[in-house]
């Protein structure tokens, strides 16, 4: 995995970078988990601050604040759901509907953490909209755009599993052919669209899926 992190947008307030699959966003426990996105960025950008995270297995766009005021302002945008996020995934099987929504509450599956699960009684509300991009009849797979309205842990992975279309290469939720179909999780954060909290400019940053 290359040490250089691609930077797709930069100004005095923030960076928007492209995290590779397999790299932690923030450090985990133990010296072997010290290498991560933020630690790599702190070398050239000592004021870099985390605003949000992607799962280690997920690739794609991450916003990094470059000051405390910017971190606070960007955090409020996420809290107010004012940032439109779009992901791309390849899932097992054919999704029959071209578009739709998945509205299933999620909770941590404590005996099997970090896995999450659907819990209609105790889970936190979670909403995902989806749009089929293409279907592969030969491989029985679907390429799909996913638009999370909420930002629960593993939301897209568990929602797709819940409707019978697990994301390929998912070491937590897939098994058999769906697990072995890819060496990495086929989930990529491909677009962020929002108003710059300091300038008011509309930003629409895109990153094509690398699969």
Candidates 197, 190, 160; CA nearest to 79 is: 197
Instruction: Answer for the pair 83, 193: CB distance below 8 angstroms, yes or no.
Output: yes
State pLDDT tens for residues 126-182.
999 999 999 999 999 999 999 999 999 999 999 999 999 999 999 999 999 999 999
Domain segments of the chain as ranges: 7-83, 86-187
- Res 90: pLDDT: 98
State pLDDT tens for residues 167-208.
999 999 999 999 999 999 999 999 999 999 999 999 999 999
Instruction: Answer for the pair 52, 62: CB distance below 8 angstroms, yes or no.
Output: yes
Quote the CA–CA distance of 210 and 115 in Å, as a whole number: 25
Instruction: Please provide the CATH number assigned to the domain covering 7-83.
Output: 3.30.2350.10
Candidates 21, 10, 40, 14; CA nearest to 189 is: 21
11 is catalytic: no
Query: Which residue in the list 3, 11, 55, 109 is annotated as catalytic?
Result: 55
Mean pLDDT of the chain: 96
pLDDT interval class at 1 (50, 70, 90): low
Burial of residue 156, with CB atoms counted within 10 A of its CB: 0-12 exposed, 13-18 middle, 19 or more buried: buried
pLDDT interval class at 2 (50, 70, 90): low
Domain 86-187 has CATH 3.30.2350.10: yes
| Same fold flag, 7-83 and 86-187 | yes
Please state the rounded mean pLDDT for residues 23-34. Answer: 89
- Res 3: pLDDT: 73
Q: Which residues contact 97 (CB under 8 A, 6 or more apart)?
A: 132
pLDDT interval class at 32 (50, 70, 90): confident
pTM higher than 0.75: yes
């Amino acid at each position: 995995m290359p040490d250089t992190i691609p930077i797709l947008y930069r100004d005095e307030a923030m960076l928007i970078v492209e995290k590779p699959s397999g790299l932690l966003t923030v450090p985990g426990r133990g010296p072997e988990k010290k290498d991560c996105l933020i630690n790599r960025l702190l070398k050239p950008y000592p004021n870099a601050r985390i605003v949000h995270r992607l799962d280690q297995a997920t690739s794609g766009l991450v916003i990094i604040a470059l000051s405390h005021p910017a971190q606070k302002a960007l955090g409020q945008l996420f809290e107010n759901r004012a940032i439109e996020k779009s992901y791309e995934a390849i899932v097992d099987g054919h999704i029959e509907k071209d578009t739709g929504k998945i509205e299933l509450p999620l909770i941590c599956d404590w005996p099997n953490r970090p896995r999450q699960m659907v819990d209609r009684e105790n889970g936190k509300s979670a909403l995902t909209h989806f749009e089929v991009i293409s279907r592969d009849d030969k491989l029985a797979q679907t390429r799909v755009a996913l638009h999370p309205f909420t930002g629960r842990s593993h939301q897209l992975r568990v929602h797709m599993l819940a409707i019978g279309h697990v994301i390929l290469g998912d070491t937590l939720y897939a098994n058999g052919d769906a697990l072995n179909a890819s060496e990495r999780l086929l989930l990529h954060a491909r677009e962020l669209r929002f108003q710059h909290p300091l300038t008011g400019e509309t930003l629409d940053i895109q990153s094509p899926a690398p699969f």
